[in-house]
Structure 1
Amino acid sequence: MAYPLITNCPVCSKQLKITKLQCTHCHTTVENEFQLSKFAALGQDQLQFIETFLKCRGNIKEVEKELGISYPTVRGKLDDIITSLGYTTNKKMEIDKKKIVSMLEKGEITAEEAIHLLKEGEL
């Protein structure tokens, strides 16, 4: 039975190093220090969200429908994942007003969500 990969030590909570890989077919073993992907540190919920986001080809409106959550919630989840991957999100990033209007015209966001985004840009 295979267990999910853990990335932090259960004793001290520091990051673990992967030092051994083994083939399940021929039992060849390779030992060395292997680097984990940044995605290995994400939680199961975050990975499922990324999978849904990719399946929807990054269309936030489709992600909303698929998960039954609002546009601001989708953005919040994306920001959380971006932060977990070690990047910073700038909440005060300049909002592209033309892009918001275009998204509204295409039906990708609601009028309420457009207003929220425009107000967010005024922070």
Structure 2
Amino acid sequence: MKKETLGTCPVCDKKLNITRLTCNSCGTTMEGEFTQCKFCRLTSKQKNFIEVFIKNRGNIKEIEKEMGISYPTVRNKLENVIRDLGYKPQPTEQISKTEILKKLSDGEITAEQALNMINE
């Protein structure tokens, strides 16, 4: 079983440098300094979140169901991934209390989620 390349040091959590690549087919080996893709630097939990996000086509309601987490938690995870990919997260648009209550009455969110959104 092949293991995924680590993106960060398991001791200090800093970025790792790749210095050697080997082809499993022909045995060619290259040495030097190689960069990792942005996604390789994400944690396994972040990669799992991205996979669930893509699978559900960004539908936050479906992501909440699959992962068993609240709307604010989905948003926080997404903001963390955006930041760790090197982008500046957009300021989150504040949702009005009226909109939150409408989502609650439409069954889009639970009472607990509504309270979390109001307290954000």
Same fold (TM over 0.5): yes
Residue 62, structure 1, aligned to residue 62, structure 2: yes
Q: Tell me if the contact between 2:15 and 2:41 (Cα under 8 Å) persists in the aligned partners.
A: no
Q: What is the deviation of 1:14?
A: 4.4
Q: Secondary structure at the match of 1:33?
A: strand
Match of 2:78, as an amino acid? L
Q: What is the deviation of 1:24?
A: 1.1
Q: What is the deviation of 1:43?
A: 0.8
Q: What is the deviation of 1:77?
A: 0.9
Q: What is the deviation of 1:11?
A: 6.7
Q: Tell me if the contact between 2:7 and 2:42 (Cα under 8 Å) persists in the aligned partners.
A: no
Provide the aligned length of Structure 1 versus Structure 2: 115
Query: Whole-Å Cα distance in 2 between the matches of residues 12 and 61 of structure 1?
Result: 36
| TM-score with structure 1 setting the length | 0.68
Residue 44 of structure 1 aligns with which residue?
44
Counting only pairs closer than 5 Å after superposition, residues 1-123 of structure 1 correspond to structure 2 as 2-9=2-9, 14-91=14-91, 93-95=92-94, 104=103, 109-110=108-109
Q: What is the deviation of 1:47?
A: 0.6
Q: Tell me if the contact between 2:56 and 2:63 (Cα under 8 Å) persists in the aligned partners.
A: yes
Residue identity (%): 46
Query: Whole-Å Cα distance in 1 between the matches of residues 64 and 83 of structure 2?
Result: 21
> Cα gap change, 1:69/1:27 in structure 2, threshold over 3 Å: closer, same or farther?
same
Query: What are the ranges of 5 or more consecutive residues in structure 2 without an aligned counterpart?
Result: none
Query: Whole-Å Cα distance in 1 between the matches of residues 77 and 13 of structure 2?
Result: 24
Query: Whole-Å Cα distance in 1 between the matches of residues 48 and 8 of structure 2?
Result: 20
Query: What are the ranges of 5 or more consecutive residues in structure 1 without an aligned counterpart?
Result: none
Query: Whole-Å Cα distance in 1 between the matches of residues 42 and 107 of structure 2?
Result: 27
| TM-score with structure 2 setting the length | 0.69
Match of 2:67, as an amino acid? L
